[in-house]
A and B are shown apart, each in its own frame.
Chain A
Amino acid sequence: MGMLLVLALFSPLAILIRLLTSGDSTTEEGLEYGQGNRDRHGPNTPTWLAAAPWAPLPALLAALFLPEDLTLDLPWLFLGTLLRLDRTARIFLALTATVWLAAGWYARGYLPATGERPSEERRFWGWFLATMGGNLLLIPCQDMVSFTVFFTVMSLSAYGLVIHHPSAPNRAAGRAYLALAILGEVVAFAGLVWACRLAQGEVTFAAAATALAAGPSRDAVLWLLIAGFGIKLGLVPLHVWLPLAHPAAPTPASAVLSGVIIKTGLLLWLRLFPWGTGALLPGSFLVLAGLTGTFGAALAGLTQTNPKALLAYSSVSQMGFVALAAGLGLRADAGSGAEIEPLLICLGVFTVHHGLTKGALFLGVGLTQTSLSPACRRIVMGGLGLLGASLAGCSLTSGQAAKALLKGSLPLAGAAWQPTLEVLVPLSGVTTMLLLLRFLALLPREGKPGLPAAPLTMLVPWAGLLLGMFLLPVALLGPGGFSPATLGLTVGGLGKAALPPLAALAMAAVARRVAPSIAERLRACLEVPPGDLLHLVGLFVASPPVPARPPTLAAASSDVALPFLNDLSPPSPAHKGVEPIASCPLPTETPQGSQPTLPLSEVSPPRCSIPGTLDPLLPSWGERPVVEWVLAGISRFEGFSTGLLLMVLLAAGLAFLL
């Protein structure tokens, strides 16, 4: 039985292996860019391509139909692996599989429609399947090592998705993403090793969580885990990769990135955190960071010009809620009667709601860029509006259910904080709605010329996610066993839920009618470049990590494609972009007086700053004069016959001996 689970979760990787072993048999003749034949392969569709969109289906079926608490113990794998399909795992697996399914089918239509060449399509699917495999496999893992393994597979494969179109801004986004991912891995490693040690060597989450709850170094470990996995979650101030990576990745990849990948950090928190033990300091930090994220990211998002960057900020904002709830859970003290269980349930519901909604929003962005019939376009825009309202917690949507559950858990905050939070949470509904209205305004009114109509494979998944968003409250009421009151489905509750979106609508309408130009000037004044804090870092660094301002619509040139249309413009040689430019250091090795001149192959030649991922974030190490001087000194020291030094030591040793 357990093997069934493993097999189901392994299907993406199996298809990936098939992809890698099949040669690239498609030729490029007969395909014109930009036209995107719907099914260019025809009868020659490679097996992996036909199978790839179906890859998450076995996982979805496993989540729905396999018995709960199915356990698989593999002591010989990694450092002892335990897989169990507990309730959290089933919820996460169902959500993850659904969103991946939708994104996969969407990509099947999207990539040809936007003129990707078959070789690029193959590359995309490779990274897509690898990320999918890692994501699905980490969900039932109940021990730290296997979780980390699959988490790493997922994180590193997602890099390939981020830089799928290799332009300079995308590469910069990839660098930021990878740097933070590695940083997160390293910090998480420290935290997990510490937790393992506290658990006397047990690597299972259960043992570690109990050990953490009782242990003396609980806070230290919590800080490390918050930092390490908060990066993935988009916790302020470690969220800076999100607004960079989302516009860079192709649309289906952004959908899963925001929809499910960032939730994996939360999954670890759910498994490992010692809930209800009164960890005040980390918990309060999480609450504050969450609130900062919710409002700060919303405001930053309002000033964006790229709809995908805006959605990324919206994700940061929503994940702020998650952080808030998690912080409340940590702060609470179960010993004095606080109830943690509803909070955890709320987190689960919120995750599902956000995953479906954000996924659908991203998919919708891509839809609006294709050519749709006017009726179709109206439907899509309407659907996107509904999704936005759901995010804001409008009545009768999944958002309302999630927000209601969150409100229900606010008493955990204690008498000091609860009143403030009771005000702030609905207020965030207003800001979210404003954000999403701005998003709707940013969407193009007509499709990019040259792109075909959206194929069914793009429309159906989007519609499916939209439907799922609406079905969630129904599922909660029915099989979930929630009462309408907890979900806020009373008359009063419905009314209260409708207020923030309506208020936001009113504000937006007023701003638009009365003073559109002032609003625009204000926006341009306050514009926050995506990857906000990273630019502060850039003030101290030689070359800025990313282009400081994304080109505005007016300044768009054929050379640098409109950022959010990165994934739609035909891949052209102009995509190459400009290399990060930096001056070159002097040779670091100086030839010795006593040695023959070393030929150039032994001397590090003056090269431009280290090419590749990290160089705008870390200044080229050889560049600073002080560093150069130190390096030259070290080389001289290394060239120096330390053997003579040893001889002197020898003589000294003899003296000692005698």
Chain B
Amino acid sequence: MNWYKWLPVLMIASSAGPAIAIFFLAEESHGWRTLWNMLGAVLKIVLMGVLFYEVHLGREIAFHVPLMPGLTFKLHADSLSLLFAGLSTVLWFLTTIYAIGYLEHSPHRSRFFGFFSLCVSTTIGIAMAGNLITLLIFYEFLSLTTWPLVVHRGNPTSIAAGNRYLVYTLGGGALLLLGVVWLQTLVGEIDFVARGGLSALEAGTHNDLRLIFTMLVLGFGVKAALVPLHGWLPGAMVAPAPVSALLHAVAVVKAGAFGIVRVVYDIFGIEFCERLGVLEPLAGLAALTILFGSWRALTQDDLKRRLAYSTVSQVSYIVLGAAVFGPKATIGGIVHLVHQGLMKITLFFCAGNFAEELGLHRVSELDGVGRRMPWTMAAFTVGALGMIGVPPVAGFVSKWYLGWGALEAGMPWVIAVLALSSLLNAGYFLPILYAGWFAERTSPWPATHGAPFPGTSIHFPPDSPANMGGPSATETCANPPAKLPREPLMPPTRGKHRASHEAGAPTAIVFGSEGSPSVPGGLSPASTSTAAWEISPLLLAPPLVTAGLSLLAGIFAGSSFSPLYWARFIMMGEY
């Protein structure tokens, strides 16, 4: 009996159902909320397992329903869907745990988790879409369900960022709609078929097809943060850390990249794309994005913005893998979908931990954090090294295959791009690692554990010596100095440095002995929060798990349980 065809529907329902239930829960009922979340997550993982098993055996799993004459709503689970869906499932589970810990005392949690679960449903829908119409429907839903999460905090910055996000994604969606409709009028209804179904079209339509390809790529490229359509991503970092982690580092940008991969492989077919000649401009655009994103990341001091630009750069590896003609590059791009998701989410989790526990938002504030939060910093190190491409973390494997594929396709300049990108990545990640592990702390932490919901003011405990100093970081945020002058040669200690900017601050700040090296944050009595853990286990476990997974994905890449194996499995169908 064909009950398999309900599996994709069940997958989507397994988080949509809890979402609706959670919307109706009162704020205080965290027990029920957690129950619904975990139920959905576990159910999804189980379904995922079943799907992997079935698809590996070669079974066809498709569900379709005619929406209108000529428009079919189709869900199918092929190997590429499962790659993306599997990644989303596992990471959703971990991010839910993280979000429960992160938003512990924040308002509007039911609203948050409701939309959060809806987002994951739509991501799974995108993964499982069987044709362009379905993909489009879920793609637009994704924009709608992620917007409330971007503006969750409700302060003017969030709303501005949300506005910008809407403008970009709705514009991209409109372009995408246009492309899809045009394609449909040209060839009728078309499903995702391995190797694409357009190669039979006659040469007269080729110009139209090129234009359609451009529109589709640009439409997906907004979410995939291709330059110059990436402007929404750095601004969207005002969202809470779980949102940045899952959505803007994994789900949303990956959905865009996934869309491009689908278009290239399963609509047009890679060989047809090669004939049309659209692959080289796409590769060029991807290379431009890689280098531009990395370069911009060098100049950012805000940690999450730096990671956002890094995402811009890294997601284009996937697009680059799709744009280089060759099985190895395909493998590299597709497996980077998983690897980059794991590594980037680790980085964002750790950034969230630093902000939550110690009030650290800038790279320049991260001195000595490795002593105070060694496990978080260790996870960050693994993620950062993976981004740079240091073996044996997973990023190395994807770069290896991308380079190999590029050489096979006769595009050696891609290796130069990869090398340059690695160097740039080293340039903006290594200073963070250095500051965290090797630098000495000379000023107290901006805020210690239990920093209340951002947007309110941060209060140091009254007897803390830091309270005698200048205003805290957040208060400085509220009154930004208009334009700070270039600084002359400054003495080394940063505490005094900051104080001299703020008007009216007393210049004498008591910090204890100058340069005493290993007194980490011990100046404010409230900072030694929990002696056993550096931070709540709910916030510590997810980054450790994802860092471990990225390490394992690299170390055991040759085994049959790695993402690489599955990517090879996918590739076999595409050529």
Contact = CB atoms under 8 A, between A and B. Distances in A.
Asked if A and B touch directly (CB within 8 angstroms), the answer is yes
A630 B485 CA distance: 19
Nearest to A603: B480
Contacts of A611: 363-364, 367, 431, 434-435, 439
A654 interface: yes
Contacts of A641: 164, 167
Contact of A649 (B164, B166, B175, B492): B175
Among A79, A119, A584, A597, the one with the most B-chain Cβ atoms within 10 Å of its Cβ is: A79
Contacts of B168: 642-643, 646
Contacts of A182: 388, 422-423, 426, 430
Interface in A618-657: 618, 621-622, 631, 634, 637-647, 649-650, 653-654, 656-657
A195 to B, nearest CB: 10
A614 interface: yes
B554 interface: yes
Given A194-B407, A583-B486, A584-B487, A646 B438 contact: no
Contact of A634 (B175, B178, B296): B296
B391 interface: yes
A649 B228 CA distance: 14
B57 interface: no
Interface stretch (B1-9, B230-238, B257-265, B280-288): B230-238
Contacts of B175: 646, 649-650, 653
A13 to B, nearest CB: 13
A78 B426 contact: no
A642 B171 contact: yes
Given A182-B423, A621-B298, A587 B483 contact: yes
A621 B396 CA distance: 27
B66 interface: no
B315 interface: no
A639 B235 CA distance: 9
B211 interface: yes
B205 interface: no
Interface string B167-203: 1101110110011001000000000000000000000
Among A185, A193, A583, A595, the one with the most B-chain Cβ atoms within 10 Å of its Cβ is: A193
A40 interface: no
Contacts of B515: 573, 576
B172 A646 contact: yes
A79 B178 contact: no
A603 B299 CA distance: 12
Contacts of A579: 492
Contacts of A194: 403, 407, 415
A605 B487 contact: no
Interface residues of B, number: 98
Interface string B200-215: 0000000000010001
B516 A79 contact: no
Interface stretch (A104-112, A145-153, A384-392, A559-567): A145-153
B427 interface: yes
B430 A646 contact: no
B174 A646 contact: yes
Interface in A179-207: 182-183, 185-187, 189-190, 193-194, 196-197, 201
Interface string B378-397: 00000000001111100011
Given A78-B555, A606-B487, A634-B296, A190 B419 contact: yes
Interface in B505-549: 513-518
A588 interface: yes
Contact of A76 (B415, B517, B559): B559
Contacts of B42: none
A601 B455 CA distance: 11
B403 A193 contact: yes
A533 interface: no
Contacts of A145: 391, 400
Contact of A642 (B229, B389, B418): B229
A119 B518 contact: yes
Contact of B415 (A163, A193, A606, A645): A193
Contacts of A601: 157, 302, 361, 473-474, 477
A583 B487 contact: yes
Interface in A139-192: 145, 148-149, 152, 156, 163, 166, 178, 182-183, 185-187, 189-190
B255 to A, nearest CB: 17
B483 A614 contact: no
A193 B407 contact: yes
Interface in A72-118: 74-81
Interface on chain B toward A: helix, strand, loop, or mixed SS? helix
A608 B558 contact: no
Interface in B77-124: none
Contacts of A445: none
Nearest to B300: A604
Contacts of B434: 611-613
Contacts of B560: 76
B301 interface: yes
B560 to A, nearest CB: 8
Contacts of A586: 483, 486
B490 interface: yes
Nearest to B228: A642
A607 interface: yes
Contact of B391 (A149, A587, A600): A149
A166 B438 contact: yes
B242 to A, nearest CB: 18
A509 interface: no
B427 A618 contact: yes
A17 interface: no
A79 B399 CA distance: 13
Contact of B554 (A78, A193, A604, A657): A78
A79 to B, nearest CB: 5
A597 B156 CA distance: 9
B492 A578 contact: yes
A608 B400 contact: no
B399 A189 contact: yes
Contacts of A631: 299
A585 B518 CA distance: 31
B234 to A, nearest CB: 7
Nearest to B484: A606
B489 A581 contact: yes
B488 interface: yes
B404 A80 contact: no
B440 A588 contact: no
Contact of B160 (A598, A615, A638, A649): A598
B478 interface: yes
B29 interface: no
B408 A197 contact: yes
B279 to A, nearest CB: 19
Given A193-B407, A631-B299, A638-B234, A576 B440 contact: yes
Interface in B406-450: 407-408, 415-416, 418-419, 422-423, 426-428, 430-432, 434-435, 438-440
B361 A607 contact: no
B222 interface: yes
Contacts of B301: 604-605, 607
A591 B319 CA distance: 32
A151 to B, nearest CB: 9
A356 to B, nearest CB: 31
Which 4 residue pairs across A and B have the least CB separation, nearest first? Answer: A612-B431, A646-B171, A643-B167, A76-B559
Given A79-B397, A622-B299, 17 more contacts: A78-B554, A78-B558, A152-B390, A163-B438, A186-B389, A186-B422, A193-B400, A197-B404, A576-B440, A584-B486, A586-B483, A595-B160, A599-B157, A599-B478, A612-B434, A645-B171, A657-B178
27 contacts: A76-B560, A77-B558, A79-B397, A145-B400, A182-B423, A183-B423, A186-B423, A189-B399, A193-B404, A196-B404, A601-B474, A601-B477, A602-B157, A602-B302, A604-B299, A604-B302, A605-B484, A606-B484, A607-B301, A610-B428, A611-B367, A613-B430, A614-B430, A642-B231, A643-B168, A643-B170, A645-B171
